[in-house]
Amino acid sequence: MHLLQSGVDISVIALWLGHESPTTTHVYLSADMVMKEEALLRLQPADVGRARYKAPDNLLAFLKSL
């Protein structure tokens, strides 16, 4: 876990542990709360407004006709 937290790639860790593939290494490594928080802090907020969808009248009329 310390190697992963230090930024060492999981494929390198897998090789050091003698695993055949990095997927085997995932069993032993999991992100702790600090790593999850750091990942979330790297995300950029979306520049999308929070407008509610309003269906056009022709779509509503079509749905009512069904």
pLDDT tens, residue by residue, 22-47: 777 777 776 677 777 888 888 877 67
| pLDDT score at 31 | 66
> Measured between alpha carbons, how far is residue 37 from residues 17, 32, 47 in Å?
27, 9, 21
| pLDDT score at 57 | 95
Structural contact between residues 14 and 26, judged by C-beta atoms closer than 8 angstroms: no
Instruction: Judge if pTM exceeds 0.85.
Output: no
Residue keyed to tokens 């997927």: 23
Radius of gyration of the chain (CA): 23
